[in-house]
């Protein structure tokens, strides 16, 4: 391999990372805003007096709405902005696989402790925060890294607070979901300023 070929390869890697950083932060902004809002609503359900037997089905409904809205956003973004950068696609699919295995492990280990206020309920936002932090490291995106670490820290700390389980969940919703939503709205603002 000669020096020119090596330099061209390094430029390609740098461009791929730059595209991935932009795609993960500003391209992912609508998803952050959407899922942050869903987390705020879902985690606040017990605090606003929703009967525990209805929290699970309401979460499933929120997740279904989020999944459909995410699919619509993805199709719309693909048509208007082109294909998602390669590394972002790889990170996304690896995250779905990781989260799927994590959910399977939780189901096996927790055996019923996933439902609010079960302690395993806080593992899900911890897994998402960890996934975001890994994306922040991969894409050299400090905002993404900070968001992931914040979500993970809130998810670990909340169940140890000497407050009711409903308030613990509300704190995860407001602090973790709110931070995700604010990150998404900030990314949308930056994207519109650029567009």
CA 25 to mean position of chain CA atoms: 11
pLDDT digits (tens, 9 = 90+) for 86-136: 666 677 777 777 766 666 666 655 555 555 556 667 888 888 898 888 888
pLDDT (0 to 100) of residue 123: 80
What CA–CA distance (Å, rounded) separates 74 from 136? 21
pLDDT (0 to 100) of residue 146: 94
What is the sign, positive or negative, of the torsion defined by CA atoms of 46, 183, 151, 93?
positive
């Amino acid at each position: 391999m000669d020096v020119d070929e090596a330099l061209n390869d390094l430029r390609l890697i740098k461009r791929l990372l730059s595209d991935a950083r932009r795609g993960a932060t500003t391209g992912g902004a609508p998803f952050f805003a959407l899922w942050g809002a869903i987390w705020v609503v879902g985690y606040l359900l017990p605090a606003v007096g929703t009967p525990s037997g209805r929290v699970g089905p309401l979460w499933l409904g929120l997740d279904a709405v989020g999944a459909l809205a995410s699919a619509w956003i993805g199709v719309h973004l693909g048509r208007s902005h082109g294909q998602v950068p390669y590394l972002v696609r790889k990170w996304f699919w690896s995250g779905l696989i990781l989260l799927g295995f994590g959910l399977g492990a939780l189901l096996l280990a927790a055996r019923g402790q996933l439902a609010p206020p079960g302690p395993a309920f806080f593992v899900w936002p911890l897994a998402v925060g960890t996934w975001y932090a890994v994306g922040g490291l991969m894409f050299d995106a400090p905002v993404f890294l900070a968001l992931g670490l914040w979500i993970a820290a809130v998810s670990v700390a909340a169940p140890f607070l000497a407050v009711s389980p409903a308030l613990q969940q509300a704190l995860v919703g407001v602090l973790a979901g709110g931070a995700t939503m604010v990150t998404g709205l900030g990314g949308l603002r930056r994207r519109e300023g650029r567009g």
